[in-house]
Amino acid sequence: NAGVTQTPKFQVLKTGQSMTLQCAQDMNHEYMSWYRQDPGMGLRLIHYSVGAGITDQGEVPNGYNVSRSTTEDFPLRLLSAAPSQTSVYFCASSKEGGWMNTEAFFGQGTRLTVV
């Protein structure tokens, strides 16, 4: 049972380059989300999806695109990398449960450095 798998674990980009952070889950969860973690800021929501074909913006969406063509995959695209996007990125998934316990399962994180 792999849970939530993120690739790559580490990445260095040059300013202006584009790349895709991959996220896959094998738990048939409807809900997936991307967060970035910066020192002293906690985790901030970038984009989320409540099911295949449905995505929406979170707190800090600028500079990022997402799509959800399948239940399993939720890639995050950096269109034109900037040093301000240097961060640790986490993908998470959870089953829909309303007010019930909808524990989010996190991937191992991707440490991205933009130079």
User: What residues line the site for other proteins (CB under 8 A)?
Assistant: 31, 33, 35, 40-45, 48, 50, 58, 88, 90, 92, 94, 96, 98-106, 108-109
State which residue, 81 or 89, has the beta carbon closest to other proteins: 89
Please report how close the Cβ of residue 111 comes to other proteins at its closest, in angstroms.
8
Please report how close the Cβ of residue 16 comes to other proteins at its closest, in angstroms.
27
State which residue, 51 or 83, has the beta carbon closest to other proteins: 51
Q: In sequence order, what E strands does the chain have?
A: 4-7, 10-13, 19-25, 31-38, 42-51, 54-57, 64-66, 76-78, 87-94, 105-106, 110-114
Please report how close the Cβ of residue 11 comes to other proteins at its closest, in angstroms.
15
Token pair recorded at residue 67: 């799509």
Residues 6+ apart with CB under 8 A from 42: none
Running DSSP on this structure, what letter comes out for residue 52? T
State which residue, 75 or 106, has the beta carbon closest to other proteins: 106
